[in-house]
Amino acid sequence: MITSTPPTRQEFVDRHLAVARPLVVRQGLNTWRIAPPWNFDTLVARVGDQRVPLYGSLFDFIGLSTFRNYHDRFLTSAAPTAQPAYLRWYTRQSEARLPWADSAFDALADFWHAPQWLPADGFVFPAYGGRTDVVRQSFPAKGIFVCGRGGMTRWHVDPWRSDAYLCQVIGHKRILLYRPGTAAPRDPEALGSVIDTPDALPPGWPAEPLIDVVLAPGDCIYIPQDHPHAAVALSPSLSLTWNFVHRANDAGYRALVASDADDATLRYFSAPVAQMDVA
Ligand SMILES: O=C(O)CCC(=O)C(=O)O
Ligand SMILES: [Fe+2]
């Protein structure tokens, strides 16, 4: 479902979160302060010296860079058009030694707030008691996602049986989202072909996506648990994204935890709450 009228919190919980039904809200960031610093030049000035991890078109680690070097290489008009590396800059979510985005989020905390229809409490993963603020607290896979034109995230299902939220801040990004259980495309890399033919499905991809949308700056998408999806940037792009499990629909997550799944992020967020508060 795609709407320009933001739901109320209760509507969002009842009609989307509880029943795992996707939602795109056009201009859901209207109330956000997406004036500067949300452009690449200002971001370079604020966090350019920070180290960032680079990945390929799935979650395959390539190496480290700095925000400034990534910008100069992949986000300027002189950038190569071949598939760029993908800067996925997460807040700390494991004990791994990676450059985490926590201090970058701290530096940007005064410049955005969560869409007002998202629940402020009731989260099961991470298990924050009481009111929760995604701007200042860490969440699994909370990140600043930056890529040049053609940067993509291939077909996948998010981990932890969790839901995801993605807010488009700079540039245009096409997102394809399918029903749970839909068979993977024959050629997941064909996603890259949509940057030249943005109205066509990538060759070899299943017909009838649940959602096939080009997000513009200010748009938000709710990606429910278990739904395969993929994304490709049609222009240099920055998104803010995070995952969560809410008590309105936590059976899958509880089954996962009961199965003794061994996962660094599950472990990390089951640490005492005081240790994971960023603020
Ligand atoms: O924006 C993207 O490239 C993909 C976002 C996504 O699917 C994810 O973070 O799981
Ligand atoms: Fe995802």
Domain boundaries, the chain: 2-276
- What pLDDT band is residue 32 in, cutting at 50, 70 and 90? low
Give, in order, the Cα–Cα distances in Å from 170 to each of 43, 82, 147, 213.
11, 20, 10, 16
CA dist., res. 87 & res. 246, Å (int): 27
Mean pLDDT of 226-244: 96
CA 64 centroid distance within chain: 20
Ligand 2 centroid from CA 49, angstroms: 27
User: Is pLDDT above 60 for 273?
Assistant: no
Tell me what the pLDDT averaged over the chain comes to.
91
Mean pLDDT of 30-52: 82
Q: Which ligand is nearest to the CA of 57?
A: 1
Q: Given 3-state DSSP classes, what are the helix, strand and coil percentages for the chain, each rounded to the nearest 5?
A: 25, 25, 50
- What pLDDT band is residue 81 in, cutting at 50, 70 and 90? low
User: Is pLDDT above 70 for 271?
Assistant: no
Residue 35 is predicted with a pLDDT of: 58
Give the tokens for residue 222.
């709710």
CB of 232 within 6 A of ligand 1: the answer is no
Note if the pTM is more than 0.85: yes
Residue 59 is predicted with a pLDDT of: 81
Helix (H) or strand (E) holding 131: none
**Amino acid sitting at position 249:** N
- What pLDDT band is residue 130 in, cutting at 50, 70 and 90? confident
CB of 239 within 6 A of ligand 1: the answer is yes
CB of 162 within 6 A of ligand 1: the answer is no
> Residue of the nearest CA to atom 8 in ligand 1?
158
Mean pLDDT of 3-12: 93
Instruction: Write the CB contacts of 19 (distance below 8 Å, at least 6 apart in sequence).
Output: 249
Q: Which ligand is nearest to the CA of 141?
A: 1
CA 181 centroid distance within chain: 21
Residue 279 is predicted with a pLDDT of: 43
Ligand 2 centroid from CA 57, angstroms: 12
Q: Which ligand is nearest to the CA of 55?
A: 1
Ligand 2 centroid from CA 158, angstroms: 5
Third-level CATH fold of 2-276: Jelly Rolls (2.60.120)
User: Is pLDDT above 80 for 77?
Assistant: no
Closest-lying ligand 1 atom to the alpha carbon of residue 229 = 7
Strand partners, 214: 174
Residue 193 · residue 81 · CB < 8 Å: no
Best probe residue, ligand 1, of 55, 160, 166 (max atoms within 8 Å of C-beta): 166
Mean pLDDT of 88-97: 91
Question: Which is more confident, 36 or 62?
Answer: 62
CA dist., res. 130 & res. 229, Å (int): 31
Per the listing, tokens 């956000």 go with 32
User: Is pLDDT above 80 for 95?
Assistant: yes
Best probe residue, ligand 1, of 59, 83, 93, 153 (max atoms within 8 Å of C-beta): 153
Mean pLDDT of 205-228: 96
Residue 33 is predicted with a pLDDT of: 58
Residue 30 is predicted with a pLDDT of: 62
Q: Which range, of 20-24, 109-113, 131-135, 224-228, averages the lowest pLDDT?
A: 109-113
Q: Which ligand is nearest to the CA of 225?
A: 2
At 132-168, the pLDDT tens digits run: 999 999 999 999 999 999 999 999 999 999 999 999 9
> Residue of the nearest CA to atom 1 in ligand 1?
231
CB of 154 within 6 A of ligand 1: the answer is no
Residue 274 is predicted with a pLDDT of: 44
